[in-house]
Each structure stands twice: as C-alpha cells, then as structure tokens.
Amino acid sequence: MIVGLNNPTSGSIELFGSNNLQEGRRKIGTVIENPALYPYLSARQNIEAQRIMKGVKDKSITDDLLDIVGLKDAGNKKAKNFSLGMKQRLAIALALVGDPEFLLLDEPINGLDPTGIRDIRELILKLNREAGITILISSHILGELAKIATSYGVINNGVLVDQFTAEELKQKVKPCLKITVNDPERAVAILKDYLEISDIELENNSIKIYEMLDKSVEINSALESNDIIVQFFSKEDSDYENYFIKLMEGGAKNG
C-alpha cells in the first residue's frame, strides 16, 4: 500500500508528512519480494534502464551505484549469471536510482548464505550511516534484524501488535538466570537482602535474575542456607525468537 501495489480498504497513508502519495513515492526506493531484474542485461545495463525510466539525466550514477553496492567488477556480467546475493545487491542499486530518502526492503536476506547475509547487512548499514537513508525492512530473520535495526514494529494479520526501540528490545530479551523455588516471593527478598541483587523479577512463579550471571553458586548457596528449596536453575541467553512468538500469539488472541 505504501508503494501503490495495493489499495487500503480503510484509513490513510502519509509519506514525509503529506498525503500527496504521488509526490512522496518519488522519494522512495523499493525491493519487493524477489529482485526484479532484466536477466539478459548486464548489471550496468539494468541500472541504465532504470535511470532512463526514472528520467535521471546524470549518467555517472551508474558506476557510482555499482561501486556502492559492491558490483563494480561485475558491471558487464549478465544478471542471469549472478548469485542470489549479487541479485539482491543489484536490486538495491536499482532502488537507489533517483537518490531516494527512504528505502523499503522486503526480506532482503532470504535464501542467502552467511557471506551474502553479511554483505547485505553491511550494505544496509552503509546506506543508513553514510548516505543518511531511512530504511524499512520487512523480515522474519530476527537474529539479523537485531544487528542492524534501531526500532521495531511487530505486525500480525495486518495489526500492529507492538513497537519498541532496539534498546527496549535488549532489555526484554537480555540474558538471565532463571530459578524455580518452593517460595519465590521469600526467595526474591533473600536475594535482594543477602546479595544486594536489584535487577530481578518474579514471572509466573519463576525468578529471573539479570545480574551476577556468573555467580550461580553464590546465589544457590544463599537460597539453600535460608531453607529455600531450589527446584530448577538455568541460564537463559537472549532469545529474540521466543519473545516475538509470544507477541504474535498474544496479538492473534487479541485479534
């Protein structure tokens, strides 16, 4: 709907603070689903075709864009002979024709090998930091998003379930010690008094401790010496997938 491929059934869309979508879309570059390339044209010819179609007169942008996306040495190679990662980079180059302020990428690392994923990640960061382009990424690969995203919006069945910053997400999924005991409320009080643990919470009768992660022996000893029976004790690492699944399940129920 943002780029005009579908029409909203209700509501409205604003781009750059205006409801003049035709004007706003001129400032947007997009890669939706699969890279849309002319397979029998070279990388350079693909960019040239996009430049002509968009009415950009500056012919020098072709080589500049090939350089930006790391395809300078493959400019004369036909797109049909590109790897998937190279096709993704060429598609991003096409999206950059016209010097957009906003880039919309749909699953940009789907199906890529680790090297391809790293290359696309570094390209996205470069475009944001050096060119000042705002980038919206639609993706289910949460571990990779965590390496580049500054803010998140979680959508389930067309409904925005939640939105938060990267820092807020880190707080929600940060590593912890998870403990189950026979008297959780008293156990929390003991840990606060005896070990001066402050970053601690009680969740569904389980205790989560977010500090002193390397002091499991001391924590266990403090509880047992105060007649607290420890039933379960484990360290949980950051788990973005589980957190998002919980959000989606909650959104589905609310919907």
Percent residues over pLDDT 90 in the chain: 53
Determine, yes or no, domain membership for 142: yes
Residue 238 has pLDDT above 90, yes or no: no
pLDDT above 70 (res 252): no
User: In this model, does residue 253 exceed pLDDT 60?
Assistant: no
Q: Quick check: is 97 in a domain?
A: yes
Residues 195 and 87 in one domain: no
What's the pLDDT at 241? 77
Boundary (domain end) residue, out of 114, 149, 184: 149
Instruction: Give the pLDDT band of residue 254 (cuts 50, 70, 90).
Output: low
Taking Cα atoms as reference points, which of 179, 191, 167, 70 lies closest to residue 119?
Answer: 70
- The CA distance from 220 to 205, in Å, is 17
- 70 and 180 belong to one structural domain: no
Instruction: Identify whether 252 is part of a domain.
Output: no
Please indicate, yes or no, whether residues 140 and 61 belong to a single structural domain of this protein. Answer: yes
Same domain membership, residue 113 and residue 30: yes
For the chain, give the mean pLDDT. Answer: 89
For residue 255, pLDDT beyond 70: no
- Residue pair 232/187 in contact (Cβ under 8 Å)? The answer is no
- The 3 state secondary structure assigned to 94-142 is HHCCCCCCEEEEECCCCCCCHHHHHHHHHHHHHHHHHHCCEEEEECCCH
* The pLDDT value given to residue 129: 92
Which residues does residue 151 pair with via DSSP β-bridges, in sequence order? 165
What does pTM read for this prediction?
Answer: 0.75
Q: List, for residues 87-112, the tens digit of each pLDDT value.
A: 999 999 999 999 999 999 999 988 88
pLDDT band at 242 (very low <50, low <70, confident <90, very high): confident
Query: Are 78 and 121 in the same domain?
Result: yes
Distance between CA 26 and CA 3 in Å, rounded?
A: 10
**How many degrees, rounded to 5, is the angle at CA 231 between CA 227 and CA 235?**
115
Domain total for the chain?
2
Return d(Cα 12, Cα 33) in angstroms, integer.
Answer: 24
129 or 175: which leads in pLDDT: 129
So what's the pLDDT on residue 66? 94
Examine residue 158 and state whether it is found in any structural domain, yes or no.
no
pLDDT digits (tens, 9 = 90+) for 31-83: 988 788 999 999 999 999 999 999 999 999 999 999 999 999 999 999 999 99
Residue 88 belongs to a domain with what CATH number? Answer: 3.40.50.300
For residues 187 and 108, membership in a common domain is answered with: no
Per-residue pLDDT of 223-237, as tens digits, reads: 999 999 999 988 887
- Report pLDDT digits (tens) over 138-162: 988 888 888 899 999 988 888 888 8
Per-residue pLDDT at 63: 93
Same domain, 84 and 49: yes
Does residue 134 share a domain with residue 56? yes
Higher pLDDT, residue 174 or 135: 135
Decide if 243 is inside a domain. no
- H-run or E-run covering 242: helix 240-254
Q: Please report whether residue 143 resides in a domain.
A: yes
Which residues constitute the domain of residue 188?
175-237
- State the pLDDT at residue 173: 80
Does one domain contain both 37 and 94? yes
CATH number for position 228: 3.30.70
Higher-confidence position of 242 and 15:
15
Q: Say if CB 149 and CB 166 are below 8 A apart.
A: yes
Under the banding of pLDDT at 50, 70 and 90, the label for residue 180 is: very high
Q: Which domain-ending residue is among 149, 167, 195?
A: 149
Beta-bridge mates of residue 35:
none
Has residue 224 been placed in a domain? yes
Structural domain includes residue 15: no
